[in-house]
Amino acid sequence: MGGPLLACDEAGEMSGDAVLHPAQRLRSAVRVSGRMRTASVECVAEEVPVAMVYNGISHAVMLATPADLEDFGTGFSLAEGIVARASEIHDIDTAHHVDGIEVRMQVSNRAFDALKARRRSLAGRTGCGLCGVDSLGQVSREVKPVAARPSVDEAAIHRAFVALGEGQALHALTGSVHAAAWAHADGTLFAVREDVGRHNALDKLIGAVALAGLDTTQGFAVVTSRASYEMVLKLASVGGGLLAAISAPTGLAIDLAGRTGVTLCGFVRDGRMAIYTESRTCTATQTE
């Protein structure tokens, strides 16, 4: 066995005092500063095709960071409504190929029959804005209102974001990935998941929470991205009652959060936030 693999500092430059992250690669580049040009080796995040395969049938291919793939498969399945609960996934493993990775899942007969019916209704797919959707009517897929929302104060939300900034290992190395974290009601973090795609990061987090058996009514999610419709939909699908984002929400996301009872906070930074929808059990108040 050799010595430690090279890794990078916060500026993306190579150093020899840390182990290379499994989702990180080294690439040659030229750094330019004024008239100075310097050859360098840069740390970059991996992005590979990841296929979600159910009972031997490929359902979707995502471009994702190749880490936490069991969490990814579980969270994607829950957030997309393919399974109703994590226990419907009887087995999960990964297969690495030259052109990508398969996340192979064996799901219950009920889930697989529903998935086959869903696939028969698809005419084709031209993008990945909303996975498995082929008509405008399907965009407005509704989920049940969340059963309960966490009692969270403003300080806990800011505490979670501070911890999230400190817990983004891959972002610190590459500067190119999003993160999603699950926080307990007091703002302490249970888990952080990172990915080049913000949706993928949230799927991975949902999977980690489900596999740990956590009660989604007793915590909340924080993300390093905007809060889009899909992000609210994914969280509401698993009963999560509060989503806090470092950036802005979209109008459609606010509408969905209002209908499902999800507390939606945006622009959470520097001790401030904007609260767009708020449940009675959330005690967070907007800072002037």
Active centre residues (catalytic): 128
Residue 131 to residues 61, 171, 230, 288, Cα–Cα distance (Å): 9, 26, 10, 38
126-132: which pairs have CB atoms within 8 A and are 24 or more residues apart?
128/60, 128/62, 129/230, 130/230, 131/60, 131/62, 131/80, 132/59, 132/60, 132/80
Tokens linked to 128 = 């990945």
Distance between CA atoms of 268 and 224, rounded to whole angstroms?
A: 10
Scan for tokens 């907007």, then name that residue.
286
Q: Are 12 and 43 in contact (CB under 8 A)?
A: yes
Q: At what angle do helices 229-237 and 198-212 cross, to 10 degrees?
A: 10
Q: What is the 3-state secondary structure (H, E, C) of 195-214?
A: ECCHHHHHHHHHHHHHHHCC
Residue 286 in contact with residue 273, Cβ under 8 Å? yes
Buried/exposed 57-87: b ≥16 CB within 10 Å, e otherwise: eebbbbebbbbbbbbbbbbbbbbbbbbeebe
What value does the CA radius of gyration of the chain take, rounded to a whole number of Å? Answer: 20
- Residues β-bridged to residue 64: 48
Dihedral pair phi/psi, residue 211, rounded to 5°: -65, -25
